[in-house]
Amino acid sequence: MVGKERVKRIILYMALLLSLVLLAFVLSKSAVNHYHSFKDQQREIKNANFTQIESWMTPRTIIRRFNLSESDLVNELKTNSNKTNFRVPLDSICKKNKLNCSLVVEELNKKIV
């Protein structure tokens, strides 16, 4: 290969390498930022200070956060453990079981006090 063409090719390769490294750096920085946001959100959710049970909470959240026994919760929802989906919010379960959700929430809050 002629000298001039060789130099041209090397410059082209170097430019490509530089742009790849720069792009990789920018993306890595974004990845790190997203990771920190993820960790922050996890921490926030873990440390969130809910003092009362609310209708949007799922049975799983209520059991974990308020140390309420599964049987108490299931009794209040007038169903049984096998039938209850622990990832569905209380208001959906109430709707399905034709219960007054605000009353159920009130009763549950009395239990945790």
Partner 1 sequence: MAIILSTILTSVLGYYTLFFIIVAGSFAIIPGMTLLISSYASVLTTVPRLFLFILLVFAASIIGDIGTYFIAKRFSVSVINYLKRYKWFAKNEGKARSSVRNYGFYFVFVTRFISGGLGPVVNYISGFERLNSKKFILAVLLGEAVYALLFCSIGYIFKDTWAELVSFLQYSFVAILLIVIALYVGYRITKFYRRK
Among 17-25, 67-75, 98-106, the segment contacting partner 1 (CB under 8 A): 17-25
Closer residue to partner 1 in complex, CB, 45/113: 45
Give the nearest distance from C-beta 50 to partner 1 in angstroms: 14
Q: Is 31 in the site for partner 1 (CB under 8 A)?
A: yes
Residue type, 96: K
Measured from the CB atom, the residue of 53 and 59 that comes closer to partner 1 is 59
Nearer to partner 1 by Cβ, of 92 and 109: the residue is 92
Residue 7 is a binding residue for partner 1 (CB under 8 A): no
